[in-house]
Amino acid sequence: MKKIPVYFSSLIILLVSGCSSEPEQSPQTGPAPAFEVLAVDAGEATIFSEYPAKLEGLADVEVRSQVAGILQRILVTEGAYVKEGTPLFQVDPRQYTEAYNNAQGELLAAKAAVTTARLELEKLTPLVENKVLSGFQLKIAQSAYDAAQARVKQAEAQAGSARITLGYTTVKAPVTGYIGRIFKKTGSLVSPNDAEQITYISDNRSVHAYFTIGEGDFMKFRQALEGKSIGEKLANAPAAKLVLAGDVDYEHPGKLDMIDAAFDKNTGAIALRATFPNAQGLLRSGNTGKVKLGFKQSNVISIPQAATIEIQDKTFVYTIGDSSKVRKVPLAISAAVGNRYVVSSGLKAGDRIVLKGMDALKEGMVITPKAPVADLVQN
C-alpha cells in the first residue's frame, strides 16, 4: 500500500476543517467603549391626536333675487368683503315702480272716498236727528263710510306690498362676509325660481372645523376632561390646534364647542366642532385640514427620538442588560410629542437605553455606561 505523505494528509485535514466550521464572531477585545445611557422613567405628558377636518364659515348664504327681471347692474366684485345690507345687484325696477305708483294712486283714491263718505254721514246726521230723514238712510251712509275706511286699509296693504317688492329690485347682502363667485352676468334674466343663485356670501369672521372621532377616542376624551355634563367638559377642554394643507400650522388656537347628539350608526364615529378666530380672513369655507387635540396622560414612557433607529419601517432601541451588554429591542410608538416618542410597548420604567452612537453597537456588545448630556435627555 502506498503511503500518503504526512504533509499532504495535513493539507486534507486543513481543507476539511475549513469547510465544516462556521465563521465565529470576533470576541470583543480591549476596554468596553463608553456610551451615554439614560434610565427610562414614566411621567405625565400631553398626547396630541390629529383628525381630518372640513372648515365652514359661520354662515354660507346663497344670494338670490326675490323678483323676476333683467339684471341691470352688478355693484360688487368677487371676493369683496361686504357688510349686511350692502347693495349687491340691481334688477330692472321699472315694472315694479309702476306697480308701486298704481298702488299709491289706489290708496289716494280710497282716502278720497273716505272723505266723501264722511261728509255724507255728517250731512245726514242732523237731518235724521230732526226727523227730516229716516234712520235707515243714516245707516246706509254709515255703512258706506265704514266700507270706504276698509278700502283704505286694503289699499295701504297693497301699497306696502308694492313698496317691498320694489325694494327687492336692489339685492342686498343678507349677512356680513366675503362675496363668492358671481354666476350671473349683466343682462341675465333672474328670478326667485332660478336653479342657480346669483352668488353666495361666506361669513368667515370665525370658522368652524368639523371632524369625527371613533368611540374609543371619544371615551378617552370624556375621561380626560373635568366636569359632569358635556357642557362642563367642553368648557374645560384644552385649546384645539389647526393644521392646514401642506402641514402648515394655523397660528391661532381654537375652542372645542360642540359634540353631536349621536354616533353615526354606519361609521361608529361622532362629530365634533372646534371654532377658530379668523380676523385676517385667511381661512375660507371649504378649506380642509387637521384638528389636533392634546390631553394630559399619566404613567407615560417617552424617550428622545434620537435614541431610536429605524430598520424596515420598524423602530428599535438598544437597552443595557446584565453585565452591561446591549440588546436591540423593538418598540411600539403611539405618538410623537416634540422630539420625543411616546412608547406604548417595548420599554418599562427603570430600563436603560443608549442615547447616541447606535451605529457602532452590536447585539451582545459590552459597553461602559456613562451619564448623558443634559441636552440629549431633554430632546
Are the C-beta atoms of 100 and 118 separated by less than 8 Å?
no
Q: Within a 10 A sphere around the Cβ of 25, how many other Cβ atoms?
A: 8
Smallest CA-to-CA distance from 275 within 61, 60, 55 is with: 55
| CATH placement of domain 34-41+308-376 | 2.40.420.20
Give percent of the chain with pLDDT exceeding 90: 68
Q: What is residue 337's predicted lDDT score, i.e. its pLDDT?
A: 82
What pLDDT sits at residue 149?
Answer: 96
Nearest to 198 by CA among 78, 56, 283: 78
Whole-Å CA distances, 146 to 73, 117, 128, 152: 46, 8, 19, 10
Residues 283-337 pLDDT 10s: 999 999 999 998 888 889 999 999 999 999 899 999 998 889 999 999 999 888 8
Q: What is the pLDDT of residue 160?
A: 97
What's the average model confidence in pLDDT over 101-124? 94
* Listed range (123-127, 155-159, 241-245) with the worst mean pLDDT: 123-127
Which is more confident, 85 or 371?
85
* pLDDT (0 to 100) of residue 47: 84
Is the pLDDT reported for residue 3 higher than 70?
Answer: no
Mean pLDDT in residue range 33-51? 90
Where is average pLDDT lowest: 19-28, 209-218, 319-328? 19-28
Closest alpha carbon to 58 in 84, 85, 38 = 84
Kind and range of the H or E run holding 170: strand 170-172
The single-letter code of the amino acid at 317 is V
The pTM score is 0.66
* Extents of the domains making up the chain: 34-41+308-376, 50-58+206-296, 65-182
25 with 268: CB under 8 angstroms?
Answer: no
**Is 138 or 308 the better-scoring residue by pLDDT?**
308
- In this predicted model, what pLDDT tens digit does every residue of 145-201 receive, in sequence order? 999 999 999 999 999 999 999 999 999 999 999 999 999 999 999 999 999 999 999
Q: From CA 336, how far away is CA 343, in angstroms rounded?
A: 9
Q: Highest-confidence range of 60-69, 233-242, 297-306, by mean pLDDT?
A: 60-69
Among the listed residues 338, 351, 349, the one whose alpha carbon sits nearest the alpha carbon of residue 379: 338
CB atoms within 10 A of CB 197: 17
* Whole-angstrom distance, CA of residue 60 vs CA of residue 179: 10
Least confidently predicted of 121-135, 183-197, 307-321, 350-364 = 121-135
The yes-or-no verdict on residue 13 having pLDDT over 80 is: no
| Cα–Cα separations (whole angstroms), residue 29 to 118, 149, 256 | 128, 119, 61
As a whole number of angstroms, the distance between CA 290 and CA 303 comes to: 26
Rg, C-alpha atoms of the chain: 43
pLDDT, position 48: 85
Residue-level pLDDT at 171:
98
Q: Is it true that domain 65-182 has CATH number 3.20.20.80?
A: no
Average pLDDT on 83-89 reads 97
Helix, strand, coil percentages in the chain from 3-state DSSP, rounded to 5: 30, 35, 35
pLDDT of 12 above 90: no
pLDDT bracket for residue 128 (50, 70, 90): confident
3-state secondary structure at position 179: strand
Average pLDDT of the residues of the chain: 88
Confidence of residue 61 (pLDDT cuts 50, 70, 90): very high
Query: Residue 262's CB: how many other CB atoms inside 10 A?
Result: 7
Reply yes or no on domain 50-58+206-296 having CATH 2.40.30.170. Answer: yes
Predicted local confidence at residue 21, as pLDDT: 42
Question: Which of 187, 282, 184, 296 shows the shortest CA–CA distance to 237?
Answer: 296
Quick check: 214 pLDDT over 90?
A: yes
Question: Exposure string (b/e) for 228-245, b if CB count within 10 Å is 16 or more?
Answer: eeeeebbeebbebbbebe
Q: Does residue 5 surpass a pLDDT of 50?
A: no
CB atoms within 10 A of CB 38: 19
pLDDT for the residue 4: 37
